[in-house]
């Protein structure tokens, strides 16, 4: 599978863009995102900044540290979407990440078991 969108390219489920700005490796972030998707409370939706804060990005300061993780979170979300684990939502409706613009949220895909896998 080849998916190209913006600055991201995923080939057969492997991320081909190095996460230079990340404080967490992709494997650890994938595990965290799976756990968060499996335990999301309320409406079951997560914002990328919630994931960034949980990944260790300090929410305080003039430029919050979680912002540095957003590109990496997006790259991992693309892989999870390709696996059928995650669905991205725009205005509450599913939208492929390749087409998503503006404010998005992540949710567990219907029938998916987010805590299983890598």
pLDDT at site 58: 65
CA distance 50 to 1: 29
Architecture of the domain defined by 2-108: Orthogonal Bundle (1.10)
Phi, psi angles (nearest 5°) of residue 86: -125, 150
pLDDT at site 63: 67
Query: DSSP letter at 10?
Result: E
pLDDT at site 114: 55
Q: What is the mean pLDDT of the chain?
A: 76
* Assigned token pair, 20: 């230079």
Mean pLDDT of 80-106: 92
Mean pLDDT of 75-97: 93
* Cβ proximity of 63 and 69 under 8 Å: no
Which is higher by pLDDT, 31 or 11? Answer: 31
Question: Of 100, 106, 110, which Cα lies nearest the Cα of 33?
Answer: 106
pLDDT at site 5: 40
């Amino acid at each position: 599978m080849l998916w190209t969108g913006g600055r991201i390219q995923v080939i057969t489920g492997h991320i081909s863009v190095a996460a230079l700005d990340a404080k967490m490796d992709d494997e650890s972030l994938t595990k965290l995102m799976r756990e968060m998707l499996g335990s999301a409370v309320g409406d079951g939706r997560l914002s990328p900044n919630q994931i960034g804060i949980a990944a260790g990005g300090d929410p305080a300061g003039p430029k919050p540290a979680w912002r540095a993780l957003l590109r990496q979170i997006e790259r991992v979300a693309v892989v999870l979407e390709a696996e059928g684990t995650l669905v991205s939502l725009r205005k509450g409706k599913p939208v492929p990440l390749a087409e998503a613009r503006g404010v998005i949220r992540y949710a567990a895909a219907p029938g998916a078991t987010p805590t299983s896998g890598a």
